[in-house]
Amino acid sequence: MKVMIVDDEAPVRNTIAALLKKSFPDITISASAGSVAEGVSAVTQHQPDILLLDIELPDGLGFDLLRQVAPVRFRTIFITGHQEYALNAFKVSALDYILKPVDEDELSAAILKACEIINHEEEQLKLLALSENMQGKKVLKRIILRTAEALQLVAVNDIIRAEAESNYTHFHLTGGKHIMVSRTIKEYEAMLSGTSLIRVHQSHIVNLNYIDKFYKHGGGYLQLKDGTSIPVSPVLKQKVLQALNEHLYD
């Protein structure tokens, strides 16, 4: 579970971080920020599951941050010294509202509540995916892609390709949809084994159903039906050719 802290007081950020590490050793504090602008940037980059958010910041209110990263799907816990914002906090679906100075028990209770909700939602999607994947042939039909905004259940057949971007994987789906997930492409290669999606390059997984041509020159590359060109690794070339041949007669 990834937690991010936005508060303009460094001592407060440090205190919250210390309390979290003490009570929740499995939680990762992915980032901290001291303003709305820094917070927007950090939320976009780190995609937290839980946001601990102060309300009065040097360049605006915590509500401004939420508006700028909308739609908000992560769980927000406000930590503030201002009681008067409580009503507005719950209007934007805040999970909890903790007054400073932060009480360790109150913080722990709020984090536990957030974790339970997130885990419950994820388990429900996993059960749905499992149910669908067990119908008919034992071939993976849908996978869960977890983003900062939501857990998304995606049909394998709707994935055109996946591309590695550092420690993230960028999925290109039918209909021009795109999903960025904070997991490596290697993890998805293993997960998608046995489906129509195969690794063709260090940075690329491609759906055999969307390949239009295989060009041998220039080291070898694929042209997809949407016009995209994807390089083929020399090490994987024979494996790709074999998969294409088998796919034709499947």
Q: For residue 10, give the CATH number of its domain.
A: 3.40.50.2300
Is 130 part of any domain?
Answer: no
Confidence at residue 90, expressed as pLDDT on a 0 to 100 scale: 66
Task: Please state the rounded mean pLDDT for residues 195-201.
Answer: 92
CB 20 within 8 A of CB 98: no
Q: What is the pLDDT of residues 213-225, one digit of tens each?
A: 998 776 689 999 9
If asked whether residues 109 and 145 sit together in one domain, one would say: no
174/156 Cα distance (integer angstroms): 11
DSSP single-letter state for residue 112: H
Looking at the structure of the chain, the number of domains it has is 2
Average pLDDT of the chain to the nearest whole number = 84
Confidence at residue 124, expressed as pLDDT on a 0 to 100 scale: 55
| CATH for 215 | 2.40.50.1020
121/167 Cα distance (integer angstroms): 24
Q: What is the pLDDT of residues 88-136, one digit of tens each?
A: 776 666 778 888 888 899 899 989 888 877 766 555 555 555 455 444 4
> In the structure, what pLDDT confidence band is assigned to residue 189 with cuts at 50, 70 and 90?
confident
- Domain limits at 185? 137-248
Burial of 137 (0-12, 13-18, 19+ CB in 10 A): exposed
Q: What is the pLDDT of residues 65-97, one digit of tens each?
A: 988 887 666 888 998 888 887 777 766 667 788
If asked whether residues 152 and 231 sit together in one domain, one would say: yes
Confidence at residue 42, expressed as pLDDT on a 0 to 100 scale: 92
If asked whether residues 43 and 11 sit together in one domain, one would say: yes
If asked whether residues 101 and 155 sit together in one domain, one would say: no
If asked whether residues 95 and 141 sit together in one domain, one would say: no
Q: What is the pLDDT of residues 139-166, one digit of tens each?
A: 567 888 877 666 788 888 999 999 998 8
Confidence at residue 115, expressed as pLDDT on a 0 to 100 scale: 82
Is 192 part of any domain?
Answer: yes
Q: Residues 39-70, buried b or exposed e (16+ Cβ, 10 A)?
A: bbebbeebbbbbbbbbbebeebbbbbbbebbe
Confidence at residue 123, expressed as pLDDT on a 0 to 100 scale: 54
Final residue of a domain: which of 87, 122, 157?
Answer: 122
CA distances from 138 to 90, 141, 166, 173 (A): 44, 9, 32, 23
140/157 Cα distance (integer angstroms): 10
DSSP three-state, residue 25:
coil
If asked whether residues 26 and 103 sit together in one domain, one would say: yes
Q: What percent of the chain has pLDDT over 90?
A: 36
Task: Name the more confident of 167 and 59.
Answer: 59
Residue at token pair 């009480």: 103
Task: Please state the rounded mean pLDDT for residues 228-247.
Answer: 88
71/90 Cα distance (integer angstroms): 16
139/136 Cα distance (integer angstroms): 8
Tokens of 202: 């260090």
If asked whether residues 114 and 147 sit together in one domain, one would say: no
Is 132 part of any domain?
Answer: no
If asked whether residues 118 and 141 sit together in one domain, one would say: no
76/50 Cα distance (integer angstroms): 6
Confidence at residue 89, expressed as pLDDT on a 0 to 100 scale: 72
If asked whether residues 33 and 66 sit together in one domain, one would say: yes
54 pLDDT more than 90: yes
> In the structure, what pLDDT confidence band is assigned to residue 138 with cuts at 50, 70 and 90?
very low
